[in-house]
Structure 1
Amino acid sequence: MDLTSETTGDVTIIHVPDSRIDAAAAIRFKDSMREHCTRAADRVILNLAQVDFIDSSGLGAIVASMKQLRDGQALELAALNPNVAKVFRLTRMDTVFTIHASADAPGQANVG
């Protein structure tokens, strides 16, 4: 999976260009996240704007990515579409991650 990232100040935004994070993509996603996070700022925001489907393997890959961060780094999520947000709500992972309405406004947490 070809993730891209940009760093501004103490925030690195990692963009997911694919529409799915599922069992077929989970390992590639984790590997790419590891590469980006090793050189990322302390605050990492995963922009999921393009993702419209995530399964349990994809969710596990995001959690695994959070767990492989170095001390002092935090993983936050941004721009979840309704289908993806529903998966995070149903699994209660919305209580684990800070979720922002968009990657452009990381200070505004999503309340829906």
Structure 2
Amino acid sequence: MRGTRDVRDNYQLFRLTGLLDAFSEPVFLKVMTKCLEEQPANIILDLSKIDFIDSSGLGVLVRLAKQMQNAKGSFQIVTNPRVTQTVKLVRLQDFLSLQTSVETAIANLPAS
């Protein structure tokens, strides 16, 4: 998995490519946890270029979403059809706040 981080005034945008699976999950969680401790507290995770996500990947997304709830920040995930299908299989689409585009996610950010 590869990615970039773009920090703006009221959100952090992470764009990821590759696989979000058991192999990439530990490093992904470590990096994301460090970034979540920084400001701003609103996170947009762009997974629209992710090729595959497994149960480990879903688990880390749930964990990050819970951390963001505790930190009073927003956590939105931009998906593609493959990621959306996987998330819907386990009925987490509402909890994980799936979005169709980065622009939609930005528009849904809480007012500062």
TM-score, scaled relative to structure 2? 0.82
Tell me how far apart the structure 1 counterparts of residues 96 and 21 of structure 2 sit (CA, whole Å): 19
| 1:57 matched residue in structure 2 | 56
| 1:97 matched residue in structure 2 | 96
**Structure 2 SS opposite 1:40:** coil
| 2:81 matched residue in structure 1 | 82
Q: Which amino acid aligns with 2:77?
A: L
Structure 1 spans left out of the alignment, 5+ residues:
none
**How much is the aligned-residue C-alpha RMSD, in angstroms?**
1.8
Bigger share in strand = 2
* Aligned 1:4-83 pairs, distance under 5 A: 4-16=4-16, 18-69=17-68, 70-78=70-78, 80-83=79-82
TM-score, scaled relative to structure 1? 0.82
Greater than 6 Å deviation, 4+ residue runs: none
Structure 2 spans left out of the alignment, 5+ residues:
none
Identical-pair percentage? 25
Q: How many pairs does the alignment contain?
A: 106
